[in-house]
Structure 1
Amino acid sequence: MNKSKNSILLVDPEFDPQTASSCSLLMKITGDSLSYAIIDLEKRQLKAVFDMQECDPASGALLHTLKNDSYLQLPFQKIRAAVYTSYHLSVPDAVYQTEKAAEYSNFFPSGLTGNLYTRPCKEFGFTSVFNIEKSTVKLLEDHLPGAELFDQHAPALALAGKSETSSLSLDFTAGSFHAVVLENGKLVYLNNFEFENTDEFNYFLLLIIKQLKLDTKIIQLQLSGIIHENDDTYNCLLKYFSKINFTQPPAGDIDHTILDDMPGHYYSSLIAFDLCV
């Protein structure tokens, strides 16, 4: 285990970089964090996890990591990157038209310099339309050629999609969270919030509860990411919810033994990102 002030690297001691061609790389880039996982596709084993919190990937953390992390130089069989963007639409399949995909950019501010992407999310019945800054795209193309790009919601959706009940799933970084609300397995709400303190988090939480009229005594609350039992954020949630669970990585799909000494829910959405189709 390698650990610095705001980052950690866990590597299976038996991981042989020469087997990278049989591995996938999953990368998650948020507004304030950068993480990746390496999965052996043949053995279905988690081989490495890197996580850096309280950073700004856009201001240099992404470039520094791509240039200096030796594991990111390996020739992976498959690469996926979920990339933070402020410009994202979820277009229901009933109205989405592939031949008119470019027209959805009219819903974004004029003058954007990024690239437009689309990704179907068949499990929830919509297509994601999103814009990624050209500078970020170039970085990824230069250092991770062939990477499949997704919007930042993809990992949280992949994790929440394992639930068939009515639930509120919150996936945290050190300073933000994704919120996914399902009603009987159907997606009814998806958003991302940044917060600086517990008061701000409480405000956004109440906004979600009141806007969706959630019955906090009944709905199941699923937590993942950087949150701990009895920390300030967790205790804030306790004021409203009766059923709180930490969502562990999808054990049935991937052997994640290297996380045995870590809170497994830290990296649940990152690992679940492998399930996206």
Structure 2
Amino acid sequence: MNSKNSILLVDPDFDPAAATDCILLLKITADSFSYAIIDSNTKQLQAVYDHQECRDVPAELSLRLKTDSYLAISFKEVKASVYTENAIAIPSELFSDQTLNDYAKFFPVVQSNNLYTQSVDSFGFKSIFTLSDVMDETISSSLSNCRIFDHSAPVLTMASGKTASTLQLDFTACSFNAVYTAGGKLIFQKYFETENAEEFNYYLLFIINQLKISTADTAIFISGIIHLDDAHYNCIAKYFKTINFNEAPALETNNKILDDMPAHYYSSLLAIDLCE
């Protein structure tokens, strides 16, 4: 990260002017945003941008969308995973398009009137969510035909297909997304904002105790802004024996521009490509 807590990695052979079949993946959290550009023909990862510790995510994202020449490309496809305080999971067998507005009554905060839905078939539910007015406007005014997913979507994608008891933790500099599964079923998912490792330790113990997680029998998969033997990693190591760095899922993507970066840094960003 540079002094502004951001980093841009670009393939030296990437020519935005000649890019006609690129996919844009955009991950927006409560305190950060990042994007990846992938050539859909060659599966080459062309660019990655990451901005951590944003004081005003919508404003800084809006500025980036207006000034970043790489985001001026006419993308073949755009997918965005966006943080929201308003998200409800409805079992697929109970979901009905006719009652969407009824579900919206249970949202905790007033946000945009645009109601989004996404299917999470691997865990048998549909997510219903809204975005803040300013975030909705920021995305719709700058990115045409953007498919929007809630912030849990990429982490749930990485968690699917695991039958053992697992706890997925995806970190930004100031937050983490937790997903706990057992027997292939989703048991718990929540987004936490934390100021330091001590606060993270509190929430981790809360998750363990409330869900009665057997730390001896549960595998941890970590991704994002976390390092071996840093304060957050050492908190986890106090309770769990098996800790795995969750690398990007098999996307058949050439990620050579990330060769000098930890492989788990952008796992959830790249996993957005698997969200449907």
Scaled to the shorter chain, the TM-score interval is: over 0.9
The alpha carbon displacement at 1:19 in A equals 4.4
Amino acid at match of 2:142: H
The alpha carbon displacement at 1:111 in A equals 4.5
Report the equivalent of 1:221: 220
Runs of 4+ in 1 over 6 A off after TM superposition: none
Q: State yes or no: 1:120 paired with 2:119.
A: yes
The alpha carbon displacement at 1:114 in A equals 4.1
Is the CA contact 2:170–2:268 (under 8 Å) kept in the aligned structure 1? Answer: yes
Amino acid at match of 1:165: A
Compared with structure 1, are the counterparts of its residues 15 and 183 closer, same or farther at alpha carbon in structure 2 (3 Å cutoff)?
Answer: same
State the Cα RMSD in Å.
Answer: 1.6
Gaps of 5+ in 1: none
Report the equivalent of 1:159: 158
Q: How many residues align?
A: 276
Amino acid at match of 1:125: G
Compared with structure 1, are the counterparts of its residues 42 and 128 closer, same or farther at alpha carbon in structure 2 (3 Å cutoff)?
Answer: same
- How far, CA to CA, are the matches of 2:67 and 2:73 in structure 1? 12
Is the CA contact 2:169–2:222 (under 8 Å) kept in the aligned structure 1? Answer: yes
Paired-residue identity, %: 48
Gaps of 5+ in 2: none
- How far, CA to CA, are the matches of 1:20 and 1:177 in structure 2? 34
- How far, CA to CA, are the matches of 1:18 and 1:225 in structure 2? 31
Instruction: Summarize deviations over 1:108-147 as a string: whole Å, max 9, x none.
Output: 1475444211111111111010011222111111111111
- How far, CA to CA, are the matches of 2:251 and 2:62 in structure 1? 34
Compared with structure 1, are the counterparts of its residues 125 and 64 closer, same or farther at alpha carbon in structure 2 (3 Å cutoff)?
Answer: same
Is the CA contact 2:164–2:183 (under 8 Å) kept in the aligned structure 1? Answer: yes
Compared with structure 1, are the counterparts of its residues 108 and 251 closer, same or farther at alpha carbon in structure 2 (3 Å cutoff)?
Answer: closer
Report the equivalent of 1:78: 77
For residues 111-190 of structure 1, what are the structure 2 equivalents within 5 Å?
A: 111-190=110-189
The alpha carbon displacement at 1:86 in A equals 0.6
The alpha carbon displacement at 1:57 in A equals 4.3
Report the equivalent of 1:197: 196
> How does the TM-score come out when normalised to structure 2?
0.95
> How does the TM-score come out when normalised to structure 1?
0.95
- How far, CA to CA, are the matches of 2:155 and 2:60 in structure 1? 22
The DSSP-based 3-state class of the residue aligned with 1:274 is helix
